[in-house]
Structure 1
């Protein structure tokens, strides 16, 4: 087919606490609710 695959380097700079929203305990409860609702009772 004549296709070439190139490898390219990537860089990642994590956000500081001030720059991005962190997940809280409410998000954890929502995740548990969704797991129970869609996996066990779906």
Structure 2
């Protein structure tokens, strides 16, 4: 039972970090496109 809880926490954290990484990448691409338009 205890092992399952640890795995659940790990998976949740993993998904959370992927989400943040994806959002940051998306924002970075947006900024990149804007900078191209400004130039």
Which of the pair has more CA radius of gyration? 1
TM-score with structure 2 length normalisation? 0.43
TM-score with structure 1 length normalisation? 0.40
